Amino acid sequence: MGMYAVRLWSVRHSRLLESFYQGFERIIVRLDPLWKRIGYERLEQPVAAVERQVKGLLFDCQMCGQCALSSTGMSCPMNCPKNLRNGPCGGVRANGHCEVKPEMKCVWVKAWEGSQQMLEGKAILDVQKPVDNTLKGHSSWLRVAREKAGARAQPEGRAS
């Protein structure tokens, strides 16, 4: 199976991957005290390397550092040639393919299909923040762990 085929497989199995990720996320958030003890900075490089391998294989991940897969049907928006975070654009071809890369199905058409099978599928309707390029190359997993654990530790309403 080529890389592109794996990417399409992931969208077809978005529900399974969503469940898997939710469990994985619970664990990494709970392990925040351990990550703190080791040092998030020290973990950054090795974890990002693993994340790049795993998500590169499954999603053609470009390591934007701010993963949106949970709300994009497991179809990575960074594979849209226009890097749209709130797609699709007006250029989707009648057959659902991309106007820039006609051989590729529109990332956002796939995102919609994937999201329809997911428990949190409605998240695709949320407006996504523009991409913050300073996060490129960083681990999204560590960022989620740090942010979610931090939000829990904060008093009500102060979570960012």
Among 7, 55, 105, 138, indicate the residue that binds ligand SF4 (CB under 6 A).
55
Q: How many residues does the structure list for the chain?
A: 160
Before 102, cis peptide (omega within 30)?
A: no
- Whether residue 85 contacts residue 129, with contact meaning beta carbons closer than 8 Å, is answered with yes
74: contact with ligand SF4 by CB under 6 A: no
Nearer to ligand SF4 by Cβ, of 59 and 112: the residue is 59
- Which residues neighbour 104 within 8 Å (Cβ) at sequence distance 6 or greater? 4, 97, 98
142: contact with ligand SF4 by CB under 6 A: no
Shortest approach of ligand SF4 to residue 61 CB, angstroms? Answer: 3
DSSP string, 60-99: -----SS--GGGTTT--GGGSTT--SS---TT--TTSB-S
Nearer to ligand SF4 by Cβ, of 78 and 109: the residue is 78
144: contact with ligand SF4 by CB under 6 A: no
Q: Is the dihedral of CA 80, 86, 88, 91 positive or negative?
A: negative
Among 25, 31, 40, 62, indicate the residue that binds ligand SF4 (CB under 6 A).
62
Nearer to ligand SF4 by Cβ, of 50 and 153: the residue is 50
80: contact with ligand SF4 by CB under 6 A: no
Site of interaction with ligand SF4 (CB under 6 A): 55, 59, 61-64, 67-69, 76-78, 140
